[in-house]
Structure 1
Amino acid sequence: MIFVTVGTHEQPFNRLVQKVDELKRDGIIREEVVMQTGFSTYEPQYCQWSKLIPYQQMVQNVANARIVITHGGPASFIMPLQVGKIPIVVPRQHQYDEHVNDHQVEFARNVAERMGNILVVEDIEKLEQMITDYDEITKGMRNESGSHNLEFNREFEEIVNNL
């Protein structure tokens, strides 16, 4: 299953929603696709979709997905990392009236460069290749969010026990 989420920002993200729907229509994507379309005005014809999805269902969709495709909102692409998935991140762009500026583009580029654990697609025409070659591209990539909570908790527990 492929899960797509565009977040809850009030501007439509039709560019991503429509492209994934077309890839499904054309048989490029053969597996089930579930989308959270937010305030997009394009309504998918070939994918299962809802405008908004409750948080627990979002978590379940991310966990069940082979591929997670998100917009460039940090919460949307950190969640897949936390469950061991490498997300494809398609940042919203100001030039398409998808956001008020290009902060998602800049942030996604920085995370990809520094952490190396997300795949950024700025040109929507490159999404097909990213999906088609996903397994090969992600082979050997780190699929983690960089959180050290478990390590911290173990060390803290040891300190408490020694008191």
Structure 2
Amino acid sequence: MIFVTVGTHEQPFNRLIMYVDNLKRAGVITEEVIMQTGFSTYEPKYCKWSKLLPYNDMVKNVANARIVITHGGPASFIMPLQIGKTPIVVPRQKVFDEHVNDHQVTFSKAVAESMGTIIPIIEIDDLQNIILDYDKIVADMPSGIKSNNDKFNIQLAEMVKEMF
């Protein structure tokens, strides 16, 4: 199962929701897809979805997912990391009116570069190949990443302090 979450930010993230829904429609994604669409205005036609989910349902979906795809909000990708998942992170971008600035792009790139614990996708068209090659990509990532939560949380807190 693939779980997609766009968080609770008030601007739609239709670009991600539509892209994954179209991959499901085209048969590129053959497994079940569950989406938390937030304030997106596009309603998926080929994936199961809910606008918002209780936190316990979010945790359950992340735990059951083979792949977790999130927006670039730290809360959305830290929880999968804590559960031992390597999330694909698609940051919201100002140019698409998905957020007020590009801090999610900057932050996602910084986390990927310094910690190597997430797979950032800046260009949405790269998402298809990452999904198709996900298991190999994760297997080729440096070992020990998923079991190093304390170190990750300390480094993440330091990065947040430096950015703000």
**Normalising by structure 2, what TM-score?**
0.88
Q: Which amino acid aligns with 2:146?
A: N
Correspondences of 1:8-157 after superposition (within 5 Å): 8-141=8-141, 142-144=145-147, 146-147=149-150
SS of 1:147's partner is: helix
> 5+ residue gaps in structure 2?
152-164
Structure 1 residue ranges (4+ consecutive) displaced by more than 3 angstroms after TM superposition: none
SS of 1:49's partner is: strand
C-alpha displacement at 1:81, in angstroms? Answer: 0.4
- Checking the alignment, whether the CA contact within 8 Å between 1:37 and 1:51 is kept in structure 2 is yes
Q: Cα RMSD between the aligned structures?
A: 1.3
Taking the aligned partners of 2:57 and 2:150, their CA distance within structure 1 comes to: 23
C-alpha displacement at 1:144, in angstroms? Answer: 4.5
> 5+ residue gaps in structure 1?
149-163
Taking the aligned partners of 1:143 and 1:95, their CA distance within structure 2 comes to: 33
Taking the aligned partners of 2:147 and 2:80, their CA distance within structure 1 comes to: 9
Going from structure 1 to structure 2, the CA distance change for 1:98 and 1:144 (only over 3 Å counts) comes to: farther
Taking the aligned partners of 1:145 and 1:7, their CA distance within structure 2 comes to: 24
Q: Which amino acid aligns with 1:113?
A: E
Taking the aligned partners of 1:6 and 1:45, their CA distance within structure 2 comes to: 17
**Normalising by structure 1, what TM-score?**
0.89
C-alpha displacement at 1:135, in angstroms? Answer: 0.4
Taking the aligned partners of 1:40 and 1:119, their CA distance within structure 2 comes to: 23
The number of residues matched between the two structures is 149
Question: What whole-Å deviation, never above 9, does each CA across 1:3-35 have from its counterpart, x for those lacking one?
Answer: 000000000000000000000000000000000
Taking the aligned partners of 2:12 and 2:147, their CA distance within structure 1 comes to: 29
SS of 2:30's partner is: coil
Taking the aligned partners of 1:46 and 1:63, their CA distance within structure 2 comes to: 22
**Stretch deviating more after TM superposition (133-142 or 77-86):** 133-142
Corresponding position of 2:156: none
Taking the aligned partners of 2:64 and 2:6, their CA distance within structure 1 comes to: 18
| Higher radius of gyration, 1 or 2 | 1
Question: What whole-Å deviation, never above 9, does each CA across 1:98-150 have from its counterpart, x for those lacking one?
Answer: 000000000000000010010000100010000000001110422246315xx
Taking the aligned partners of 1:145 and 1:41, their CA distance within structure 2 comes to: 37
